[in-house]
Chains A and B, each alone.
Chain A
Amino acid sequence: DAGVIQSPRHEVTEMGQEVTLRCKPISGHDYLFWYRQTMMRGLELLIYFNNNVPIDDSGMPEDRFSAKMPNASFSTLKIQPSEPRDSAVYFCASSGTSGEGDTQYFGPGTRLTVL
């Protein structure tokens, strides 16, 4: 398996623009997670899905952020409008069963810079 795939790997945009990050989880995994990592706040969970259904979005910072998972092999994280403080590395991760403590497999991340 190719692992978790994220695109783009780097995104530079101007404040106010819409940004869409994409993720393809490992085939067969039924949990998908979106994280954001910054130097100041570390790795933070934004939202996670189980069987394509959002379970917990309490980490989503504002209404400007939205996430969807239309099918088991694809998810998007959208920021509209983007702001400079959204600059961070965004990771997608997936895990394989519904049991407790399952290993999460992370993608390579998308480095977002909002000017």
Chain B
Amino acid sequence: SQKIEQNSEALNIQEGKTATLTCNYTNYSPAYLQWYRQDPGRGPVFLLLIRENEKEKRKERLKVTFDTTLKQSLFHITASQPADSATYLCALDLTGGGNKLTFGTGTQLKVEL
């Protein structure tokens, strides 16, 4: 069955370092992939969208890559700050219909001083 996998273990890094989160998917080639941030007690907030014909996308300190051969997306936060601590979710439309997103379980990031 179609699946989205994110590292379920929390990622702890030191302030100033680059955080790298992974999203792997199986059995489908989505036209795009989205990344969301979720803080405790709040709904997810959209960060970035990358399309299948884009290898890389950047927004301020964020960078997303999309390798459709490996069926993997990497999400990087450079010069990480304690305020970046949150859970990060990747999401794909696994049906091809354009609007029905399936979310990964998320990876919790903790940036320590």
A-side residues, CB < 8 A to B, are: 4, 31, 33, 42-45, 48, 50, 55-56, 91, 93, 95, 98-109
Contacts and interface: CB of A to CB of B under 8 A. Distances in A.
A5 to B, nearest CB: 11
Contact of B104 (A42, A101, A104, A107): A42
Q: What bracket does the count of chain B residues touching chain A fall in?
A: 20 to 34
A106 B102 CA distance: 14
Nearest to B49: A101
A101 B100 contact: no
Given A42-B105, A93-B43, A106-B45, A31 B99 contact: yes
Interface of B: 31-32, 34, 41-46, 49, 51, 89, 93, 98-106
List the 9 shortest-distance A-B pairs measured between CB atoms, nearest first: A106-B43, A100-B98, A42-B105, A43-B103, A101-B32, A103-B46, A106-B44, A91-B43, A109-B43
Determine which residue in B93, B98, B106 has the highest number of CB atoms from chain A within 10 A of its CB, and name it.
B98
B44 A48 contact: no
